[in-house]
Amino acid sequence: MNKHPTLPTKYLNPYTDFGFKKLFGEEASKELLIDFLNQLLPDYHQVLELSFKNPEKIPNTAKERKAIFDIYCQNAQGERFIVEMQKAKANYFKDRSLFYSTFPIKEQAQKGGWDFKLMPVYFIAILDFIYDEQEEISKFRRDVCLKDQDGDVFYDKLHFKFIQMPLFKKSADELSSHFDKWIYFLKNLDSFDHIPAILNEPIFKKGFDIAEIAHLKPKQFDDYQKSLLDYWEVKNVKDTAFGEGVEKGKLEGKLEGLQEGKNAEKYAIAKMMLLDKASLDTIARYTQLSIEQIVALKEDQEI
């Protein structure tokens, strides 16, 4: 008998906090993180070993704002890496990225006769949204460092790498690099029911093994469920719930019993889960809606 209730997928959703940290933020999965980072880093900053650092950075004074990173690590040479999974667009996203990068810079300060020499810092953001306002200038991957007016690199120790996942459209037979395979793996992981041939390599097979929901212990499974619900809630806000179907928390349609507030939120989450092919029982367990209400929603939205 399966120790876990039935979930709609075989593998973890890597966009959830739990799934992302399970894949990249544990000692057992460090090999995955190193391999992924090395697809983004230049040859002279390739990583052989990593140690995880405290992801919560406490400011020097009470008036300063603290930062909490998804993953914060350092290689043997002292280079720092912040790796973030961003689920929803927020105001001042670039400002926030710059602010976060100041913490691994400031922590390198030394007392006494320090000469101000710094080790490189990389801020890597995997985005489940498109932050570029103008479609014609949007880029799937953007590598940023400090350059002068002629486009020449002025300072090579502070790097930002932004990956806008929705802009990655390649199918399995279009993958041309190991980096492509990583993005394809992350974007489609929770929709796979087996390991596709293009990802039948040791590093990805390890990733699939770590991400298999059946391997979770009961407490881990409960934590994943909560993380998955948080993800659906964020996705609900990001997608403005029903698009054309919701206005100011109300569903315009045939559904009865939908009211403002919590009830509207339940229906919004239920729709997201239907679109993600979750089972009716799973949706009912998460949202506390009845099977009849969920079926009515499915029929009304023609999902």
Q: In this structure, what token pair is assigned to residue 288?
A: 């506390």
CA-CA distance, 182 to 20, in Å (whole number)?
13
Do 121 and 248 sit in the same domain of this protein?
no
User: Do 252 and 133 fall within a single domain?
Assistant: no
Residue 43 belongs to a domain: yes
- In the predicted structure, residue 163 carries a pLDDT above the cut 80: yes
Quick: pLDDT tens for 126-156.
Answer: 999 888 877 778 899 999 999 999 999 999 9
Of the residues 174, 198, 214, the one at which a domain ends = 214
Q: Are residues 205 and 243 in the same domain?
A: no
**Between residues 288 and 58, which one has the greater pLDDT?**
288
Contacts of 11 (CB under 8 A, 6+ apart): 189, 190, 192, 208, 211, 212, 213
Q: What is the pLDDT of residue 219?
A: 93
Decide: 81 and 73 in contact? Cβ < 8 Å: yes
Domain, as residue range, for 273: 239-301
Let me know if residue 83 belongs to a domain.
Answer: yes
Q: Look at residue 183 in the predicted model and tell me its pLDDT.
A: 98
Does 245 share its domain with 122? no
Q: Which two tokens stand for residue 160?
A: 């930002």
Q: Residue 88: inside a domain, yes or no?
A: yes
High-pLDDT (> 70) share of the chain, %: 85
Q: Are residues 261 and 209 in the same domain?
A: no
Q: Tell whether the model's pLDDT for residue 62 goes beyond 70.
A: no
Same domain, 69 and 122: yes
Same domain, 75 and 201: yes
pLDDT of residue 270: 83
pTM, two decimal places: 0.80
Helix (H, G, I), strand (E, B) or coil at 215: helix
What is the mean pLDDT of the segment spanning 289-302?
Answer: 85
- Same domain for 139 and 82: yes
**Residues near 220 by Cβ (< 8 Å), separated by ≥ 6?**
18
Residue 15 pLDDT > 60: yes
Residue 102 lies in a domain: yes
Average pLDDT over residues 49-68: 74
The number of folded domains in the chain is: 2
Q: Are residues 113 and 152 in the same domain?
A: yes
**At residue 97, what is the residue type?**
S
Q: Domain check: are 244 and 204 in the same one?
A: no
Highest mean pLDDT among 50-64, 101-115, 224-238, 239-253: 101-115
The per-residue pLDDT of the chain, averaged, comes to: 85
Kindly state the average pLDDT of the residues 195-224.
95
Q: Evaluate whether residue 231 is within a structural domain.
A: no
Q: How far is residue 22's CA from residue 90's CA, in Å, rounded to a whole number?
A: 25
DSSP string, 67-122: EE-SEEEEETT--EEEEEEE-S--TTHHHHHHHHHHHHHHTT--SSS-------EE
- Would residue 112 count as lying in a domain? yes
Residue 258 shares a structural domain with residue 163 = no
Helices (H) and strands (E) in the chain, counts: 9, 10
The whole-number pLDDT of residue 238 equals: 56
CA-CA distance, 186 to 165, in Å (whole number)? 9
